[in-house]
A and B are shown apart, each in its own frame.
Chain A
Amino acid sequence: MTDIAPSQNERARFELARFERPSAISFLGYALGLVIIFWCLAGAGFSLEKVASSPPRFADFAARAFPPNLEPQVLSRLGWKMVETLQIAFAGAVIGVILSVPVALLAAKGLIAGPWVNQIVRTGLSFIRAVPDIAWALVFVVAVGLGPFAGMLAIVIDTIGFCGRFFADDMEATDKGPAESLTATGARKLDVVACATIPGSLPAFISTSLFALEKAVRSSTILGLVGAGGIGIELKVGFDLFDYPTAMTVILMIAVVVIEIELVSGWARTKIIGEQR
C-alpha cells in the first residue's frame, strides 16, 4: 500500500495559520461594534446593581402571586375573555390572510403589476410592519371605539403587513416553469397567476398563514392593555389592583393557550408541507 503520510516539505507547505490576523479595517469594525454595544447598554440603563437586587423582589412577587387565583367565577370570567381573545385572533388573522393575497400580487415583482406599483405596495407593507400592533390597536380604538372590534382590525392590519410581504416573496420564489408553460400557450397574466403561481406557492402560503395565526394569538393577548378587547385588560386590572394571584392566572392561561396554538400550528404545518413531497 502506498504511504500517504506527507513528506517534510509537504508538511511545511501544508502548515497554515489556524486563525487569520484581522485586517486594519476588520479590527476597526470589531472595535466599533463593541463601542456600539456598550453605548446601547448605557442608553438602556443597564445596571448590574439592579440585576443583583432584583431576585428578592421577584421572589416577593412570586410569593404574592402563588397560588394563582383558581376560584370558579374568576376562571369562568377569564375563560370567556380568553375565548374572546381567540375570536379576535382568528377573525383578524383569517381576514388579514385573505386580504394579503391581492396585496401580495401587487407587491410581487414580475407578476401582474409593474415595478413602480411593486415598490409602492412594498413600501406600504414596510410601513404597516414598522408600526407595532399595540399602536395600531390605539389608532383603531380612536377610530371605532373601545372593544374587541378595534383589536380585530389591528390584527387584520398587522397580518396584512406580515403575510403581504411573505406571500409576495413566496410567489417570487416559486418555480417559474409552470407559469412559463401557460404563458407560452397564450394565457393571460391573471390566469397564469391563478393556475400556476398561487397553487405553486400554496404550501408556503399555508405555512406563513399559520405563523400569522400564532402571531395574532400572541398579539391579541396584550391588545386589551389599550382597551382593544381580549384578556389583556384582565392582566392590566390584576396588576393595577395588586391582585397578583389573578394576574398570575392570566399569565399562565396565556402561556398555555399560546403554546397549544404553536403545537397545533406546527403539527398542521408538518402535515401540509409533508404531503407536498
Chain B
Amino acid sequence: MRDTLSSTISSVTDLLLRSQAAPDVLTEQTGATFAPVSPIEIEARAVSKTFGATPIFSDVSFRLARGEATALVGANGTGKSTLLRCLMGLIPTSGGSVHLLGQQTNEATGREMRDIRAQVGLVSQKHNLVPRLSVLSNVVHGLLGKHPGPRHWSHSLAPQSSRETAMHALERVGLADFAHRRADRLSGGQSQRVAIARAIVGAPKVLFADEPCASLDPSAGEDVMELFFRLVRDENVTVVFTSHNIEHALKYGDRVLGLAQGRIQLDATAASLSFADLRGLYD
C-alpha cells in the first residue's frame, strides 16, 4: 500500500516536473489523457495591432507546433498579412507578445532577431525576386541569414558549397536549368518556384507564405501549392500561410485560423471543417 502510494506520488511529481521543464510542448487531448505531440514553434499571446487609431486585430492568441501547417484565412482587410508580419517580427505588435522558435521577438536584440530569422523563410504573393539578377543569385540570397557578407551577394562570389546548396534547392523546385536566367525573364509560376527555392535553401524550421498563389492562374497556383507543401512536409517544417482560397486552406492546412472582426473567430483542425464553415468568415 505504502509502495503503491509512493509510486503514485512519484509519477505525479514526475509528470508535473516534466510539464514545468518542457513548457514548449503542445499537448493534445486524446480521450482522458494529454499526450505531448510536438514542441511549440510559434506562439502568439494576446497580440494586437493598430495603425494609428485604426485597430486591425486584438487579443490574438494561438500556439503552433513543429511540423504543423496552419492556414490563416479571413476577408480582405482583416489583417492576415499584418499578423504574419507581426509573427516574423517585421513590424512591431501594438500589444501582447510573439514567441518564435522559443524566443520572444519583441524583446530580442537585432542580432538575436537575425539569428531567429535565419531559421525562417518567407514566400510572398508577388514572389519578390530581384528582377535584374540571375535566378541562382536570388536563391543564394536565401543563405544570407546564415552566411552574411559580400560572398553571398552574388552567385559569382559565393563559395562552392553555397552554390551547390542553391542549385540543389533549384533542382527540388524543378528549375536547375534556369539557374543563369535573369529573374525577370521567368513566368509567374516559375518566379514563385524560385521564391520557394530561396525560402527553403537555408533549411528553415518555419516558413511563412503570404497568399503564395494569389498572383497566379488557378493551374499554376495549384502546382505551386502542391510543390510547396510536398517540400515542407518532407522536412517537417512548420508552415503558416494566408489564403483566400478555402479549398487550399482545407487541403493543405492541418489547422485553420479564421480572422474576422479583428479577432480569431475560428481555430480548428482542417479535417473537422467544411467549405461552408470557412465561407461564413467572408460574409
Q: Which residues of A contact B (CB under 8 A)?
A: 175, 177-178, 180-188, 191-192, 194-196, 199-200, 202-203, 276
Contact call B149/A199, Cβ cutoff below 8 A? no
On whether the beta carbons of A200 and B117 are closer than 8 Å, the reply is no
Residues B131 and A185 in contact, CB atoms below 8 Å apart: no
Q: For A200, what are the chain B residues with a Cβ–Cβ distance below 8 Å?
A: 130-132
Which of B115, B184, B208 makes the CB contact (< 8 A) with A184?
Answer: B208
With a cutoff of 8 Å between Cβ atoms, the chain A residues found around residue B239 in the complex are none
List B contacts of A192 (CB < 8 A). 144
- Besides A183-B117, A185-B202, 19 new A-B residue pairs in contact (Cβ under 8 A), listed by A number: A178-B129, A181-B198, A184-B117, A184-B120, A184-B208, A185-B120, A185-B204, A186-B114, A186-B118, A186-B119, A186-B146, A188-B144, A191-B148, A195-B137, A195-B152, A196-B130, A199-B130, A199-B133, A276-B184
Tell me the interface secondary structure of chain A in the complex. Answer: helix
> In whole angstroms, how far apart are the Cα atoms of A128 and B110 in the complex?
35
Size class of B's contact patch? 35 or more
How many Å lie between the Cα of A200 and that of B138 in the bound state? 12
Residues in B whose Cβ lies below 8 Å from that of A194: 150, 153
Binding site for A on B (CB under 8 A): 88, 90, 113-122, 124, 126, 128-133, 137, 141-142, 144-146, 148-150, 152-153, 184, 195, 198-199, 202, 204, 208
Count of A-B residue pairs with CB < 8 Å: 87
Report A-chain residues with C-beta under 8 Å of the C-beta of B195: 181
Which residues in B have their C-beta under 8 angstroms from that of A276? 131-132, 184
Q: Could you tell me if B131 and A186 are in contact, using CB atoms closer than 8 angstroms?
A: no
A186 touches B126 (CB 8 A): no
- The answer to whether B88 and A184 have CB atoms under 8 Å apart is yes
Picked from B129, B130, B137, B199, the residue with its CB within 8 Å of the CB of A185 is B199
A186, A199, A202, A203: the one contacting B144 at CB < 8 Å is A186
23 contacts between A and B (CB under 8 A): A177-B124, A177-B128, A178-B128, A181-B122, A181-B128, A181-B199, A184-B90, A184-B117, A185-B142, A186-B117, A186-B118, A186-B120, A186-B144, A186-B145, A187-B114, A187-B148, A188-B114, A194-B150, A195-B137, A195-B144, A199-B132, A200-B132, A276-B184
